[in-house]
Chains A and B, each alone.
Chain A
C-alpha cells in the first residue's frame, strides 16, 4: 500500500520460482489521490484556526500536497515494476483512485510502459446496454454537481461545500483554491487507460467470474458490482427503500441542475435565468427593479426582521443538491469492481474497492463460478467461504461508515491471520465537506466503530496511510500472523510493504 494519500494505490507483486530463477509479476490496483489537497502549511494558512486546533497542527503540517505525492508514488510504481504492469485493475471511476494516471500521464502512457491486461467492472463497458442506461442517468447529475461546485465559493452554505467536496471525486473542481485540481476528468482518464491497454487486453468483469491467473499462480474471484439495480443503488444500511425515490432520481438531478443554473445566472447578474412566472409578476430580490418602489411591503419587512431571522429560507434549496451529491457519490462507489485473490495455499486477499452495502450484499447472490456454469469437478465457491479464508482486507472507502458490511462481511472474516490496510490520511478527511469550517464535522475516516472492530479482528495488525510505522511494526511483531511464517511489514517513505511467505 502506498502511504500519505487519501486515495488508493496498491501494488501486488508475486515471486514465482521458475526452475531456480525468480520470476516477478505485478498487479496494480488503482492509483489516485483526492483532489484539492494542498501541502500542510498551505492548508493551515487557509483553514479556520478552530478546525486546525481540533485536528492538530502537527498532523496537518505533515500532509503532503496531493499532486506532488501521487506523482512521486506513480514514479515509484513504474520504477519498481520496471515499466511492466502485468495486470492493471481499476475499481471505479473516482478521482481518488485514478488521478495518479493523469498527473503522471507522460510516464504511464509512455511507450516504455506496457500493460499486460486491464480489468474494469462491467459498468465501465460502453457497449453494455445496462451500463449505458446507468451512464445516461449519471451524466445529468454530474453536470448539475459540477455546476454546483462552482457555487461553493467563499462562505457558501455547508450543504454546497459537501456537494463540492463530493463532486471532486468525479472530475476536476477547484474549491476555493485549496490546492490544485487536476486537468482531466475521470471519464477521460478511464478512456486513456483503455486506449493504452487496447481493446484486446481489456476485460470487463462480471460478478461470479473466476479467473485463473496462471502466470501469477493465483486465482481471482469477481464479487461485484452486481447486475441487480436495486442492490447497485443501495448504499446506506437503511431499511425499506421507497419505490418512489428511485423514480424521482432523474427529476432530482433535473431539479438540482435547474436550481444551480438559476443561482449561477443570478450571481453573474445575467438575465437568462429560467423563471416560472412571466415578467409581469417578477420582482427581483436584488438589483434593478422594474418599478421603483421606495417602501418595502409588509411581508418583505416581516421576512427581513432581525427577530425573525431564524425563519429565513435563503439557503434551504441547497439541501437537494447536497442529497444528490451524496447519492451520486455512493452510487459510483457501488459500481466498484470487488475482487478476491486466492493464493495457492488458500488464503484470500480481499480488494472490494469502495463497494457499499448493496455491492457487498450481492456477493452472496451467486456462487463462483455461477451455479449454472459449474463444471463437474469440484463444488463452486461461495462468498462466505472466500470471506472465511480472507487474511488480507483492503478496507473499503478509506474506512468510512458505509463501506464495510458487518454481519455478512467483517463478521465472516474469521481467519486468525487477518490483517487490514486502510488507505487514508485522517487529517485530510477531517477537513473535507463541512469539516472545512466546522470543527469535527468533516469525514470520519476511518470510522471509529469500524476501526475498533477491525482492531479486534486483526489483533491490531492494521496499516494505515498515515499510520505510525513504529506502532504498526510493533503490532505485527507482538501478534504475529503465524509462528512459522508470519506476515512481515516494511515501511518506506512512500509505502508499506507486506510480505506473505508461501514457501
Chain B
C-alpha cells in the first residue's frame, strides 16, 4: 500500500452469522450479521485480488450447471472498503464470494493461532509420477453444483459448494446456498486444513478414521459459533445463564437441515432432552457423520462442564441457581460476563482440540488417540491445570464411551503419550534443517519441502544414520529402515515389493517437517519440531496369503490393500531432544488384522454378506469422502 499511510490492522467483512434463514426469523434476525476481521495483508503477502484471491485462497465463481461465470468481488473497491464489504444478500453472487472467503480465512487464522504456525494445503500428486507438488492456494467454487451438498475435493484441492431449490417453507427461501452457511463453510475448510496436516487421515483404515475427519470439522464449526458474542449473549439471557439446551449455537447448518426435510439442524451436539439416553459410542455406528457425532458430543459435553465451572461463582454472586428456567431476567452485566466466559471456554476447548492435531499418529487415527493427544498437548503447554480442563475433557469422553486402547486408566498421567525408549536428538552434523521462521508463504512452503528432503536424505544416505543411529531410531519410529536391523520387525511385505523383490531398505515417506511456537497462559514458550514419518506394507485379504507374503519375498505380488505405519516425532527445541514418538508400528500384525477386518466389512457390509462394494458392476467409488451428505445412499 501507499507509503504515506499506515496500513489498517484488519479488513472487516460482513457475513451471515449462521445462514440466511436466521435473518428471516424474528428471534435471530438481530444477531445474524457478523463482521469478520481478517488481518490486513502484510508487506510480504500478496495483495487481495478480485475473486477474492489472496495467499491462501482463490475463489472462482463459475457455475457450470447454469452456464454462468459470475463477476468476482473486488474487496479493495473504495465503496466496499468504506462499508465492511457488501451487505449480506442472497441475491448477489459477489456477496457469496465475500462470505466464503471471509469465513474460510477466519477458520485458517483460528488454526494458525492454535498451532503456532502457517496452514499449508495438502500437496498434489502429479499424475503418472511419484512426485508431489505443493499447492499454494486452496480453490473455492461457491456455486459448483446444483444439489444439496458440498465437499472438499482432495483431487482438485478445492471446495465445491452446491445450491438447490427447496420446497420446504421452513427454510425461508426458495434457493438455498451452502456457500452462505457459516457452518458448512467452516466444516469444509477444516477438512482441507486437516488433509494438509495429515494426508493419510482420509484413508479408511478403521471405523474411526473417516469419522474423525467429520467430527473434527464439526467441532471447529460448532465452537466458531461461540465467537459470535451477540448470538451467545442472546442465548444466555434467554436460558437463564445455561447453555445446555439445544439452540442455534448447538446445531449445525439449520437452514440446510430444514430445506432437506429434517426437523431442525443437520447435526446437533446436544442430546435430545425428550428422555432419550445419551448417545454412546458403539461398534456398529459406522456411518462417518453418525459416528463422528459422538466425538463431537463428547467434546461439547466437556465444554459445557468447563463453562459451568467458570461461571459457578458468577451465578452464586448473583444468587442464581443455573438452569432454573428462562423466566429469570439476568442483569445485562452478568449476561455480558457469562458471554465472555462462554466465548473463552469455547475458544480454549477448540484450541486444545486443534493443538492435539500435532500429537496424533500420522496414520490410522482412533478416537482414543485423539483423547490422548488432547491431554498430552495441553499438558505440555499448560502443565498446571488449575481450571481442570483436562479432567473435563476426560469426563466428556468417558461419558460417551470413548476409551483409548492400551491405557492403564483414564487418569491424566496414564493418558499422556509415553516418552520414547531412547534418548534421541535431532542435532547431527549431517542433518541440515532450516528452522528459521519464514514470513513469506511461498518461501515457507519451499523450506518445509526442503526440510522433508533433508530428513529423507539423512535416513537414506547419511553417515551418522548408517553407523550408529539407525537402530534406536527404528525402535522409536516403528518403521523399518534396513533389512535385518531388528529382525523382529522384518516382514517381506514391508521390505520386498514387485519392482524390488530383494529390497534392502524399504521406502519411507517424510510427510512433514514443521516447527511450531506456542505460548501458554503463564507465558511458557513452547518450541517444537514435528516430523511425520510413514511407511507402507502390502496387505492381503486372505490371512494365509498374508503370512506367506510376510515370510517369503522371493516372488512378491501386488497387494489387496495398503497398510501403513509410522510415527509423529515431537522434538522439544529448547532442550533439543525427542520428547514423544506417537507411533503405529508397521510390523504390528494385530493392527493389520483389525484393518483387514474393517475393510472386509467396508467392502462386504457389516455381517459380510454380498460380494463386495468395490469392483462391482456399479459399485464404483462415487462418493467424495468428504461430502456433507453422501450422495445416493
Q: Which of A's residues lie within 8 Å of B, judged by CB? A: 162, 166, 236-242, 244-252, 254-256, 258-259, 262-263, 266, 273-278, 281-286, 297-300, 302-303, 310-317, 319-320, 322-324, 326-327, 329, 357, 360-361, 400-402, 404-409, 429, 433-434, 441-445, 447, 449-450, 453
Is A322 touching B622 in the complex (CB atoms < 8 A)?
yes
Residues on the A chain within 8 Å of B613, using CB = 236-238, 401-402
Is B160 touching A316 in the complex (CB atoms < 8 A)?
yes
Which one of B72, B612, B616, B632 has the greatest number of beta carbons of chain A within 10 Å? B632
CB distance from A279 to the nearest CB of B (A): 11
The 4 closest A-B pairs by CB, nearest first: A237-B605, A245-B633, A237-B610, A401-B616
Cα A441 to Cα B619 with chains together (Å): 11
Q: Select one of A281, A311, A429, A449 contacting B93, CB under 8 A.
A: A281
Q: Verify if B615 is at the interface (C-beta below 8 Å from A).
A: yes
Q: Verify if B112 is at the interface (C-beta below 8 Å from A).
A: no
Is B609 touching A400 in the complex (CB atoms < 8 A)?
no
Cα A266 to Cα B67 with chains together (Å): 7
- Mask: chain B, 46-88; 1 = CB below 8 Å from A; 0 = not: 0001110100001111101111111110000000000000000
Q: Select one of B50, B139, B290, B631 contacting A320, CB under 8 A.
A: B631
Is A285 touching B619 in the complex (CB atoms < 8 A)?
no
Is A247 touching B93 in the complex (CB atoms < 8 A)?
no
Q: Select one of A241, A282, A299, A313 contacting B68, CB under 8 A.
A: A282
Is B261 touching A326 in the complex (CB atoms < 8 A)?
no
Q: Known: A238-B605, A449-B612. Is A283-B68 also a contact (CB below 8 A)? A: yes
Residues on the B chain within 8 Å of A310, using CB = 124, 127, 155-156
CB distance from A430 to the nearest CB of B (A): 10
Residues on the B chain within 8 Å of A238, using CB = 605, 613
Q: Verify if B4 is at the interface (C-beta below 8 Å from A).
A: no
Cα A384 to Cα B164 with chains together (Å): 46
Q: Known: A237-B609, A239-B286, A248-B629. Is A401-B69 also a contact (CB below 8 A)? A: no
Is A244 touching B266 in the complex (CB atoms < 8 A)?
yes
Q: Select one of A248, A258, A443 contacting B617, CB under 8 A.
A: A443
Give me 21 A-to-B residue pairs in the complex whose CB atoms sit less than 8 angstroms apart, sorted by A's number. Answer: A236-B610, A236-B619, A240-B285, A242-B289, A242-B630, A244-B266, A245-B630, A251-B148, A252-B147, A254-B164, A281-B70, A298-B50, A299-B72, A310-B127, A311-B139, A317-B146, A326-B618, A402-B616, A402-B618, A406-B608, A441-B620
CB distance from B290 to the nearest CB of A (A): 6
Residue of A nearest to B175 (CB): A276
Cα A281 to Cα B141 with chains together (Å): 17
Q: Verify if B2 is at the interface (C-beta below 8 Å from A).
A: no
Q: Select one of A244, A248, A285 contacting B69, CB under 8 A.
A: A285
Is B617 touching A401 in the complex (CB atoms < 8 A)?
yes
Is B611 touching A447 in the complex (CB atoms < 8 A)?
yes
Q: Known: A251-B166, A302-B58. Is A284-B615 also a contact (CB below 8 A)? A: no
Q: Verify if B324 is at the interface (C-beta below 8 Å from A).
A: no
Q: Select one of B157, B260, B622 contacting A319, CB under 8 A.
A: B622
Is A258 touching B164 in the complex (CB atoms < 8 A)?
yes
Residue of B nearest to A296 (CB): B69
CB distance from B281 to the nearest CB of A (A): 13
Cα A286 to Cα B62 with chains together (Å): 12
Q: Known: A251-B166, A327-B633, A444-B616. Is A298-B144 also a contact (CB below 8 A)? A: no
Q: Select one of B70, B124, B291, B604 contacting A283, CB under 8 A.
A: B70
Q: Select one of A258, A302, A401, A445 contacting B610, CB under 8 A.
A: A401
Q: Verify if B607 is at the interface (C-beta below 8 Å from A).
A: yes
Q: Select one of A241, A262, A317, A443 contacting B633, CB under 8 A.
A: A241
Cα A303 to Cα B139 with chains together (Å): 10
Residues on the A chain within 8 Å of B64, using CB = 285, 313-317
Is B71 touching A283 in the complex (CB atoms < 8 A)?
yes
Cα A248 to Cα B114 with chains together (Å): 36
Q: Verify if B149 is at the interface (C-beta below 8 Å from A).
A: yes
Is A407 touching B608 in the complex (CB atoms < 8 A)?
yes
How many contacting A-B pairs (Cβ < 8 A)? 259
Is B287 touching A242 in the complex (CB atoms < 8 A)?
yes
CB distance from B332 to the nearest CB of A (A): 39
Cα A361 to Cα B608 with chains together (Å): 12
Cα A363 to Cα B54 with chains together (Å): 59
Cα A281 to Cα B92 with chains together (Å): 7
Residues on the B chain within 8 Å of A252, using CB = 147-148, 631-632
Extra pairs beyond A252-B147, A273-B67, A442-B617 (15, CB < 8 Å): A240-B286, A245-B629, A245-B632, A247-B261, A247-B262, A251-B260, A254-B165, A284-B68, A285-B67, A315-B64, A316-B144, A326-B632, A401-B610, A402-B610, A447-B616
Which one of B94, B145, B147, B631 has the greatest number of beta carbons of chain A within 10 Å? B147
Is A247 touching B260 in the complex (CB atoms < 8 A)?
yes
Residue of B nearest to A248 (CB): B260
Cα A302 to Cα B51 with chains together (Å): 10
Residues on the B chain within 8 Å of A327, using CB = 632-633
Residues on the B chain within 8 Å of A329, using CB = 618
Residue of A nearest to B64 (CB): A314
Q: Verify if B91 is at the interface (C-beta below 8 Å from A).
A: yes
Q: Verify if B101 is at the interface (C-beta below 8 Å from A).
A: no
CB distance from A161 to the nearest CB of B (A): 12
Residues on the A chain within 8 Å of B163, using CB = 276
Q: Known: A239-B605, A259-B147, A444-B616. Is A313-B633 also a contact (CB below 8 A)? A: no
Q: Which of B's residues lie within 8 Å of A, judged by CB? A: 49-51, 53, 58-62, 64-72, 91-94, 124, 127, 139, 141, 143-149, 153, 155-158, 160, 162-167, 175, 177, 259-262, 266, 284-287, 289-291, 601-602, 604-613, 615-620, 622-624, 629-633
Is A313 touching B160 in the complex (CB atoms < 8 A)?
yes
Residue of A nearest to B612 (CB): A401
Residues on the A chain within 8 Å of B617, using CB = 400-401, 429, 442-445, 447
Cα A252 to Cα B259 with chains together (Å): 12
CB distance from A167 to the nearest CB of B (A): 13
Is A275 touching B62 in the complex (CB atoms < 8 A)?
no
Which one of B61, B62, B623, B633 has the greatest number of beta carbons of chain A within 10 Å? B633
Residues on the A chain within 8 Å of B606, using CB = 237, 239-240
Residue of B nearest to A314 (CB): B64
Residues on the B chain within 8 Å of A236, using CB = 605, 610, 613, 619
Q: Known: A237-B613, A262-B146, A313-B158. Is A299-B53 also a contact (CB below 8 A)? A: yes
Cα A320 to Cα B291 with chains together (Å): 24
Residues on the A chain within 8 Å of B631, using CB = 252, 319-320, 323-324
Cα A447 to Cα B285 with chains together (Å): 29
Residue of B nearest to A244 (CB): B629
CB distance from A342 to the nearest CB of B (A): 24
Cα A316 to Cα B64 with chains together (Å): 9
Q: Known: A247-B261, A283-B68, A299-B72. Is A402-B156 also a contact (CB below 8 A)? A: no
Q: Known: A313-B160, A450-B611. Is A323-B61 also a contact (CB below 8 A)? A: no
Is B147 touching A320 in the complex (CB atoms < 8 A)?
yes
Residues on the A chain within 8 Å of B147, using CB = 252, 255-256, 259, 317, 320
Cα A236 to Cα B616 with chains together (Å): 10
CB distance from A158 to the nearest CB of B (A): 9
CB distance from B367 to the nearest CB of A (A): 16
Residues on the A chain within 8 Å of B157, using CB = 311
Is B70 touching A444 in the complex (CB atoms < 8 A)?
no
Q: Select one of A247, A283, A285, A299 contacting B60, CB under 8 A.
A: A299
Is B67 touching A298 in the complex (CB atoms < 8 A)?
no
Cα A320 to Cα B633 with chains together (Å): 11
Residues on the A chain within 8 Å of B72, using CB = 297-299
Cα A237 to Cα B286 with chains together (Å): 13
